[in-house]
Structure 1
């Protein structure tokens, strides 16, 4: 197929990985970058406009839609694939000449943060709505969605693979991901316990004063290959879920093992189905259980690394790359 792909096209973004997955699956893909609307540059006029509570800057939105419409007119796609385009004009998207109109959401579509009134008004008019949250399927159906599909999140082999370390520092435990209220207290407690043997990297962590009083390493966001480099320095890589999205798995579920890191994550039905606890990964349901896992990693580092390799082989062997998700979606269509 000829696919007109709309999504945030910065290096390391999941949208870019999905677009490349469709290309690898044999389709002709034309990408239009939606980043100027979705993530305006900090302190830029569009960013200030949004922070004043006025929504997306209308002049940026209009310019983006003109680029999309010009691309559609020239490219004449068989499918419009919209990667979380809830902030765009739904009427204009659905009016684009394409045989199929597909909307993909990487997050919980029942979380108001991931939708807009404009999107919800036209949700039922998309030919297919794809979600990575299994619980969203009946919710979408009850909202009148024409067709729905659940797919797991994925990893990108271009970025998520074992890499050589770039720093002599080595950490017993680490978390790579955004700072969220439901993660803050547990990360601070772990940092107080493990000190310099712990690293926490991602947006927002440097602003947590209680974390800065510990000797844990605190870093900013890492994307693309930088994520795999960060994983390479950590023995036990924490996979934490987003309670606001009611996650039972996340992108890190696949990215951590694919990068060669030991998956140490929350126990959920999906995690238990994807990886075997005690063989491919370590799962926990309480802080005491996590403490026991980290104690095992400290005393049995070679066994932990062997488990990480089994986890990597399981994720790679079970076909969880973005190209596999692209095939799942086109097969469903």
Structure 2
């Protein structure tokens, strides 16, 4: 198929990885980068406009749609694939010449933060809505979506793979992800307990005052292969979920074991289905159980390494790459 892919194209973005997944699955892909609209540079005029108007800059949206329209008329795609394009002009997206129009959302579409009034008004016009949340399937159907497909998140073999450590330092516990109220207290508590044996990477952690005197290694966001390098330096890599998305799995569910890291994550039905607790991962239901896991990792590091190796094998041989997800999506269209 000829796929016109509309989504963010920065290195490490899930949209770029999925676009590459379509190409790896054997399809011709042209990407239209939406980053100028979704992530305008801080303090730029579009960024300032979005803060005051609470919507994306219309001049950037217009420029992007001109690019989409031009590409669609020239490329003549069989499929226009929109990756979380809720801030774009839905009528123009749906009117772009293409055999099929598909919208993909990596987040909970019942959370208003992940939609827009215009998107909701046109949701039923898409040929297919793809969601990574099981609970969204009946909700989307009830809202009038024509067809809904559930696919899990994935990993990108080009970015998430076993890599050499970039430091001689080895951390007992680590987490890569953004600051969120539902995870901050736990991670601050762990930092106070483990000090220099804990690594934290992600947007916002450097601004958390409670971490400043803990001795934990705190840094900014890491993407792509830098993520895999961070995982390589940690014995127990935490997989924490986003309660606002009502997550039962997340991208880290696949990215951590694909990078060779020991998966230490919240216990959910999906996690238990994907990886065997105690043999391919360690699952916990609360702070006490997590601390017991960390004590075991300290006492039995060889066993922790074997569990990490088994989890890696399970994920990379289990059809969980973005190319696999592209095939699932196109299978639903067929």
**TM-score interval for Structure 1 and Structure 2 normalised by the shorter chain:** over 0.9
Q: Residue in 1 aligned with 2:221?
A: 221
Alignment of 1:275-290 (within 5 A): 275-290=275-290
Q: Residue in 2 aligned with 1:198?
A: 198
Query: 2: CA distance between counterparts of 1:73 and 1:167?
Result: 50
Query: 2: CA distance between counterparts of 1:112 and 1:329?
Result: 25
Displacement of 1:54: 4.0
Displacement of 1:213: 2.0
Query: 2: CA distance between counterparts of 1:257 and 1:54?
Result: 38
Query: RMSD of the TM alignment (CA)?
Result: 0.5
Q: Does 1:100 align with 2:100?
A: yes
Deviations 1:5-62 (A, max 9, x none): 0000000100000000000000000000000000001111101111113411111111
Query: 1: CA distance between counterparts of 2:76 and 2:49?
Result: 34
Query: 2: CA distance between counterparts of 1:56 and 1:123?
Result: 19
| Partner SS state of residue 107, structure 1 | coil
Q: Residue in 2 aligned with 1:151?
A: 151
- TM-score with structure 1 setting the length: 0.99
Alignment of 1:123-162 (within 5 A): 123-162=123-162
Q: Does 1:52 align with 2:52?
A: yes
- TM-score with structure 2 setting the length: 0.99
Q: Residue in 2 aligned with 1:261?
A: 261
| Further displaced range: 48-57 or 255-264 | 48-57
Query: 2: CA distance between counterparts of 1:298 and 1:191?
Result: 16
| Partner SS state of residue 203, structure 2 | coil
Displacement of 1:233: 0.2
Displacement of 1:243: 0.1
Query: 2: CA distance between counterparts of 1:131 and 1:160?
Result: 22
| Structure 2 gap segments, 5+ residues each | none
Query: 1: CA distance between counterparts of 2:72 and 2:332?
Result: 23
Deviations 1:151-175 (A, max 9, x none): 0000000000000011111100000
Query: 2: CA distance between counterparts of 1:98 and 1:53?
Result: 32
Q: Does 1:25 align with 2:25?
A: yes
Query: 1: CA distance between counterparts of 2:237 and 2:81?
Result: 33
Query: 2: CA distance between counterparts of 1:8 and 1:241?
Result: 23
Query: 2: CA distance between counterparts of 1:54 and 1:277?
Result: 44
- Matched residue count: 333
| Structure 1 gap segments, 5+ residues each | none
